[in-house]
A and B are shown apart, each in its own frame.
Chain A
């Protein structure tokens, strides 16, 4: 069955960088885009961007331009999300999810990131 397994919780200091991984299993990695979504405590879902595993093209939300990089490693079927210059407002649960057309059927379990001095 399709699974997305994310890396574990992280605690970061302001100004640091973050890297979250999302390992895909149960399907051909190149078949679905991977999108990243975050959710601050008690808040709604916020779309961050997506990557096409086939070729590696990306599309980022304007809000994160300049400090967000998405990459993938097709040899291990893993997508990565790197966010730099962290602020306390970046404290959130980060999710990866597949995207096929106009739907996201499969989601990772979420990675809690806490930014605190």
Chain B
């Protein structure tokens, strides 16, 4: 089974700063099957990015996804107050799907 490892576990940044979140897979993942989600306390996850780099409907363009193979990145170009949350990557592979353990973006 593919294991996704996200880093860092916590990112402490100020509004307006750039956030770079990493998702590394234990084996190669198809770009088509790599997604990113945002989750705020008490809420269900929200799809941000699918296909590694395609923004979901309603995702602001300050969010961008990149990567291929085993290394994927979610970048938030300038943090807005509403962006402080936990972010998860998910791969939908042939050998069952998996989530990373999450990266918390907190206010510094």
CB of A102 within 8 A of chain B? yes
Given contacts A102-B51, A110-B44, contact A44 B33 (CB under 8 A): no
The 0/1 profile, CB within 8 Å of A marked 1, for residues 33-66 of chain B is 1110101000011110011000011000000000
| A109 partner, pick from B37, B44, B86, beta carbons under 8 A | B44
| A103 partner, pick from B30, B56, B96, beta carbons under 8 A | B56
- CA–CA, A67 to B35, complex, Å? 28
Judge whether B32 and A101 touch: CB under 8 Å.
yes
* B63 → A minimal CB distance (Å): 15
| A45 partner, pick from B34, B47, B99, beta carbons under 8 A | B99
Given contacts A44-B88, A45-B102, A99-B92, contact A105 B97 (CB under 8 A): no
Please report whether the interface of chain B is mostly helix, strand, loop or mixed according to DSSP.
Answer: strand
CB of A59 within 8 A of chain B? yes
| Pairs A–B under 8 Å by Cβ, sample size 13 | A35-B97, A37-B99, A44-B101, A44-B102, A45-B37, A45-B99, A59-B96, A101-B92, A102-B34, A102-B35, A102-B50, A102-B51, A103-B35
Footprint of A on B, CB under 8 Å? 1, 30, 32-35, 37, 39, 44-47, 50-51, 56-57, 86, 88, 90-92, 96-102
Q: Given A102-B35, A104-B47, list of 13 further CB < 8 A pairs?
A: A37-B99, A44-B101, A45-B39, A97-B44, A97-B45, A101-B33, A101-B50, A102-B50, A102-B51, A103-B50, A103-B92, A107-B45, A107-B46
